């Protein structure tokens, strides 16, 4: 949360214009940003939109709810184990792997 609070504080104190949306790397940063914005009298979604990414319970319980993306930690773990298994067997492994997120 600290990163979101600090970023929003710095943005306002430097007199920067508010963007239409903040796209945060995770829900904790989004929650911190919203918390600091509300302390300063701003309101989402009236003044700007905010999104998170990692689908923590905090996103659902925060008021207003934070739009978030689930990146399926379990599927990521399964994919990692498949990669490790191939490496241990000296089998070829693709350089990139993609886990489909859900909004």
pLDDT in tens, 56-92: 777 777 777 788 877 777 888 999 999 999 999 999 9
Q: Which two tokens stand for residue 8?
A: 């929003």
Q: Using CB atoms within 10 A of its CB, is residue 50 exposed (0-12), middle (13-18) or buried (19+)?
A: buried
Q: What is the pLDDT of residue 8?
A: 95
**0.75 exceeded by pTM:** no
Q: Which two tokens stand for residue 30?
A: 């989004």
Task: Name the CA radius of gyration of the chain, rounded.
Answer: 18
d(C-alpha 53, C-alpha 38), whole Å: 20
Q: What is the pLDDT of residue 62?
A: 74
């Amino acid at each position: 949360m600290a990163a979101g609070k600090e970023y929003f504080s710095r943005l306002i104190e430097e007199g920067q214009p508010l963007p239409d949306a903040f796209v945060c790397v995770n829900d904790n940063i989004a929650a911190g940003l919203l918390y600091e914005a509300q302390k300063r009298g701003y309101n989402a979604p009236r003044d700007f939109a905010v999104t998170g990414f990692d689908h923590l319970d905090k996103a659902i319980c925060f008021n207003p709810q934070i739009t978030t993306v689930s990146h399926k930690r379990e599927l990521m773990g399964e994919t990692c184990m498949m990669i490790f298994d191939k490496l241990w067997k000296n089998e070829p492994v693709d350089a990139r792997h993609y886990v489909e997120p859900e909004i």
